[in-house]
Structure formats: structure tokens, C-alpha cells
Amino acid sequence: MKSKLLFVMPSMHCGGAEKSLISLLESLDYSKYDVDLLLFKREGAFLSKVPSEINILEAPQDYTYFDMPIKRALQSFLKENKFHLIFPRIHAGYLFKTEKNRARCDQKVWPHLSKALGTLDKEYDAAIGYLERSPIYFIIEKVNAHKKIGWIHTHYTNSGMDKMIDHPYFKELDHIVTVSDECKNSLALQFNPLLSKITVINNIVSPDIIKKMASESFKDLQINKSTLNIITVARLCHVKGIDLAIEACKRLVEKGVSIKWHVIGTGSMEENVEYEKMVKELNLEDSFVFLGIKENPYPYLRMADIYVQPSRYEGKSIAIEEAKILAKPILITNFNSSRDQIKNGYNGMVVDVTGNDIAQGIYRLFKDEQLREEYIKNLNKESLGNEREVDKLYQILA
């Protein structure tokens, strides 16, 4: 008899955890597992990439009231006689306005949001909250499963999360999975009594699939070979260092470098406007370009002269691993888990987390063709596929 698995995620919007989930689901042995996927919102660019073997459950209807303007939500409650949700939504609205730390806000909102989410009737062999915060809280409180697994995709110490909120939930988990040794060390520092529960399962990347998708063409971009073409794949937010990238671009333009820096990804409406405004104020409209979300970013990666990850911190960046597979000269910042991904001076460059250092590193790569070729040669020597990481999950599930 097949084991019954449940994965829980907020949505399938374009992000590292969502991409990681797709790769994991593509690697599962469906002769052994029946798999359900619960999304709080059944939407996102990666929704179409979910394997056909997956049963996507109906999204909890009342979740949407916590994702819309409060006035509209309260009007809906009165119309639909959902009076029990009025005070939870008011409390959540207060937190959305007053708690500036996004991660901590999500944690504090959960007790109110949970009142809008019913329990699942089905019993599972294992339930997997595939992202920190609400997916993990959900499987603890709302799911009947023999094993409960929480997946942490970030460096916990730098995440802004409150460990006092997470600790009671983490205690209830049978396993805590994270994506790199550095992320495990961070979790161990914060939750040392739970160390025996923590396992590293690296994000799965398939060189064959990435190279095949990279060979596809694109029509929305003209590549000028006389221009330095840079690609960054990241959410538009402070954590990913988009402001640092814009500053670095300005410094390079001032040095006389002809540059096109393309960013694939998006952020909140406020963040999108903020960075577009910054680009305009610095007169970089022709040099720093936001491409938005691309379901297939690999052709853009393929055309890049340099891949740059300007993050302030990362768990383990899938985009960096993909750039390695496509053998791009890579520059990343010295976030906590950077050494898990790049050997500085061997297969890429690691610089300090400032716009000036990013610019200096790019300028050195731009000027030194031999250095770029050395990085490419060393990347081509590496064995970068890790599809068998899924075996670690099988061991946990056994």
C-alpha cells in the first residue's frame, strides 16, 4: 500500500522554496507515495509545474479574508454571517500595520489566521510543512499525521523570526529539515535541545533539465555583445540586496562600463515601486532592467556574462546552483552560507556585502577574461547534479 503524504505551502509564486518543491516533487517515486498538496492560495507561476501525479487540495476559502483590505474583509463577514472572524481579522490587521518585521509579523498573525483555517479530515502517514512559519504551524495544529516534518529554507539566526514563538511548534515536529550545513548550524545554535531532529537535505537541482530548458529561445530581450550582461535572479527585497545591486550598477556606469543588469523576480508592490524609483533617480533606466517573473529563467542565465547574487543573507540559493550548472562566472556576497556554495577564487568570487565591493568585484571580472575562464573551467569539472538527495527524505519517511 502506498504511503499518504501531504505537502503544505502558502502558494506557488515564483521563489526559491517553491522552485525547490517542484524539483523535489519531480523526483518522488509515485509507485510508493500518494501525494496531496495544500496551498493556502491556489495560485502562482509554478502552479503549472506541479507534476500531474499530485492531488492539489481545495484551498481554504476563508484564508482570502486575511489577504485582502480589512474594510472589504469586514464587509464580507457581515454579509456572509462570519462574525467569528471579525475580531481575528481586526487583530491581524493591527499586526500588519504595527509589526515592521515581516517574518515576525507572520508568526504573530498565525493565532488569528488559524481561526480561518479548518482541520483536514484525511489521515496521512507524513505531513510536510515545506516552508517556515504558517505551513509548519498548520501541520502541527490542523493535520492528523503519523510523522510531521518542518522544512526551513533560511538561515534562522538572520531570518528575523522569534524563536520563542517557533519553539513549541518545533518541539512537536518529528523532523526538522534544512537546506545547508550552515543553516543547520544556525538552527542548532537557536534550538540546541532539538539537534537530533535536524537533517540537511540540499535543494534538488537537475543539470539535464536545466541545460535542456536553457537551450530554449526568448524574444523579449536583445543581447548586445559589446555590453557587459549581468543576471540576478531574486525576490525584490532588502534581504536579497537589490538596493546594493543598483548602487553597484551606478558605480560601474560611472567607471565607463557599458552594462545591462537584468533582474528576474518581483516583490511586493511597495518594493517594486521603491526599486524602480531608485533606478530612475540614478538615471539607470538603460542599465538596470527589471524583467519580472520568468517561468523559464534559464535562457536568460545562459546569455549572461556574469551571474551576481547580492544578498544580505541566504539559506541556500537555488539560483546560484543553477548558474554553476550553466558554468557562468559567478559573484556573490559574503552571506552566512556563501561558503556552502562558492569556493572564493576557485569557482567564483565572494565579496563583502556592500555596493562598492560588489562593483569592484564585477569590474575585476569584467577586465580579467582569464579569471572568468578559470572559473568556468573549474565549474565544468564539478559534478553538480544531486537528484539522489530525495533518498534522504525516503529515509525520514520510512
Structurally, what CATH architecture does the domain formed by 207-381 represent? Answer: 3-Layer(aba) Sandwich (3.40)
List the one residue out of 285, 284, 277, 317 whose CA is nearest residue 301: 317
CA dist., res. 147 & res. 61, Å (int): 26
pLDDT of residue 44: 86
Question: What is the per-residue pLDDT for 9?
Answer: 97
pTM recorded for the entire structure: 0.83
> What nine digits make up the cell of 46?
509554478
CB under 8 Å, gap of 24 or more: what pairs does 282-289 form? Answer: 282/246, 282/250, 284/246, 284/249, 284/250, 284/253, 287/249, 287/253, 287/259, 287/260, 287/261, 288/245, 288/246, 288/249, 288/261, 288/263, 289/260, 289/261, 289/262, 289/263
pLDDT in tens, the chain (398 residues): 899 999 999 999 878 889 899 989 999 999 999 999 999 999 987 898 899 999 999 999 899 999 899 999 999 999 999 999 999 999 999 999 999 898 999 999 999 999 999 999 999 999 999 999 999 999 999 999 999 999 999 989 988 999 999 999 999 999 999 999 999 999 999 999 999 999 999 998 888 888 988 988 877 777 777 899 999 999 999 999 999 999 999 999 999 999 999 999 988 888 999 999 999 999 999 999 999 988 788 999 999 999 999 999 888 888 999 999 999 999 999 998 888 899 999 999 999 999 999 999 999 999 999 999 999 999 999 888 788 899 999 999 99
Contact 47, 25 (CB under 8 A): no
Q: How many CB atoms lie within 10 A of CB 340?
A: 19
Contact (CB, 8 A) for 197 and 173: yes
Residue in 182, 193, 118 with CA at minimum distance from that of residue 341 = 182
Check residue 339 and give its pLDDT: 87
Is the dihedral angle over the CA atoms 110, 121, 25, 214 positive or is it negative?
negative
All three cell numbers of 215, joined, read 537551450
Same fold, 3-205+388-397 and 207-381: yes
Write the class of the CATH domain 3-205+388-397: alpha beta
158: DSSP letter: G
Q: What are the structural domain ranges in the chain?
A: 3-205+388-397, 207-381
Q: Which of 239, 238, 372, 261 is nearest to 308 (CA)?
A: 261
Please report the sign of the dihedral spanned by the C-alpha atoms of residue 76, residue 79, residue 80, residue 82: positive
pLDDT in the model for residue 206: 83
The predicted structure's pLDDT at residue 186: 94
